[in-house]
Amino acid sequence: MATPIAVISPTPQFLPGITPATDADKIDLKRLRDPKALAEVHQVEDGENWWTLASDYKIDVNTLIGANPNLPMKARINRPVNILAGKGVLHTVQKGETILTIAALYKAEPKNLEKINDIHWWWWKALKPGDVLFIPGVKPIRMAQEWISYYSKRGIFGDPLGRWGIITSPFGKRSDPLTGDVRHHSGLDLRAKYGDKVYAARGGRVIFTGISGGYGNLIQIAHGNGYITFYGHLSKILVKQGDKVRRGQLIGRVGATGRVTGPHLHFEIRKNGYAVDPLPYI
């Protein structure tokens, strides 16, 4: 088995009310009404990504997006990133917005927002277009389109091991563990022990069980909308072709059948016949 290179971690879906960010959402830190909300502006370093950065600062990716509405999915070296002192978002006030309409957008309490952002009826402390408000404890409502697409897929399938497991070989090009040749890997290899339980990642109908080449003992489940999942290298198959299964139902046991170097689960998702990276869907 290869050295672990990634961990699957749960991410909640929160798409209702989300809209693509525009240039109007750019954050002008000079207009930040609550300077204490900003911990620092971080320059991305080699090897960092948004998940590791969020972990380092004890926040979450939602908070990174909330403080940087136009944040791309891929972290680039030397890109400046606003880091908040706590979970929440930064909101740039648009023309016509009031503290009441902004609070309603985020389902926040107007009086709390006034207090946190030092907003009063005096003209020099009144709310103005371009002001940047800190709204604590809420999720972003504006983000780059690629994040919207990412979150729209997230959670369609559950983890087939019933826990958030370590990926030992990702989707895409890799060095073949047996020959060393560079090949396309059509799924995820998930670390597991021989005999560990394997569960249906989503409800559907079993369309294949049996031995299938390098997959060894394999289960295929059709889920509708063109989706099929593969569960390979099993030691035991506990369902049969034609069975209807529910999400989370026990369907097999981890093994080392087929073309493998040791026990693990090969998990694969196909959409309309084409293999897709399972990670964004889990």
Q: Where are the domains of the chain?
A: 6-153, 166-281
Supply the pTM of this predicted model. 0.64
Signed CA dihedral, 20, 26, 32, 36: sign only: positive
The pLDDT of residue 282 is 85
Give the pLDDT confidence of 193-229 residue by residue, as tens digits: 999 999 999 999 999 999 999 999 999 999 999 999 9
User: How far apart, in whole angstroms, are the C-alpha atoms of residue 147 and residue 141?
Assistant: 11
Average pLDDT per consecutive 10 residues, the chain (282 residues; last block may be shorter): 39 63 94 96 93 92 96 93 97 95 95 95 88 96 91 87 82 66 81 96 97 96 96 98 97 95 94 91 87
Give the pLDDT confidence of 20-33 residue by residue, as tens digits: 999 999 999 999 99
Question: Residue 159 has which token pair?
Answer: 């983890």
Q: Which CATH class is domain 166-281?
A: mainly beta
Average pLDDT, the chain: 89
Least Cα distance to 265 among 253, 249, 276, 279 occurs for 253
